[in-house]
Structure 1
Amino acid sequence: SLHMESWRAEMKEEINRINQVLPNTPANEKTAAIKQWMDSVIDKMDHYKAEHHRYVKEAVTLLELALWKAKLDEKDENAAAGRTKKKAKLDAESVRKEKRVTCGADTVIRNILPFLKLE
């Protein structure tokens, strides 16, 4: 993903920054410079982890909706031709709810999520 590559490049740059800063830092300020650098690296990592979590959550939502839509698009073999319009509307709503439960999203997501998490 472009985000991951960009984040990786920014983190490498941030990690290597200490090599440019430290040689020009007076000896009595090196500890403070290193601490400031470490805090900066940790803050960036926390930011990127939060961004990654947001992207994973969005992807899982889209996957669930896609699976539900695929299930809804399947031909409904149980449709009866002689139903009234009101009854058909109620049935369509209940069928949509049922297909959301039976689309298998929970199983698919449970098996895919470990590959998307940062650990």
Structure 2
Amino acid sequence: MSEEIDRINDILPSLPAELKTTAIKQWMESVLRRLEHYKHEHHLLLKEAAALLELALWKANLDEDDTLELEANVSNLSLDNTSARKKRRVTSGAGVVIKGVLPFLRFAKDST
């Protein structure tokens, strides 16, 4: 990206005056396209990070609940394990944590 930004300094001195405005416009469009690409990549990485964070919180919640059940010596044979896992995913608190973490990773609203 820095090469793209510096490129205009190499091009402008050798251009005739009537072509400089066009060259600057093309250069600006190129830089803006590149920035949009990086913003898109950043957004994809944020989505992936949020999914991983949610899964990690869910797993931690499952592990904690399993530990508590073992300590209490409770048998969960009567419960459907799949539905219990789904319920734990909903109640893991991931939604609250993710909403608190993602604002620190996003771009400022006025720059998007």
TM-score normalised by structure 1 residue count: 0.79
Structure 1 gap ranges (5+):
1-9
- Alignment counterpart, residue 65 of structure 1, candidates 52, 55, 73: 55
**Which residue in the other structure is 1:118 paired with?**
107
* Partner deviation per Cα, 1:46-93 (whole Å, 9 max, x = no partner): 000000000000000000001001111122527426x4xxx45x2x11
- How many aligned positions are there? 103
Shift, 1:118, TM fit: 1.1
Aligned-residue CA RMSD (Å): 1.6
> Counterpart of 1:22?
12
Aligned match for 1:107, one of 71, 83, 96: 96
Query: What TM-score do you get using the length of structure 2 for normalisation?
Result: 0.84
Task: State the distance in 1 between where 2:90 and 2:82 align.
Answer: 13
Mapping for residues 39-50 of structure 1, pairs under 5 Å:
39-50=29-40
Q: Report runs of 4+ in structure 1 exceeding 4 Å deviation.
A: none
The unaligned stretches of length 5 or more in structure 2 are none
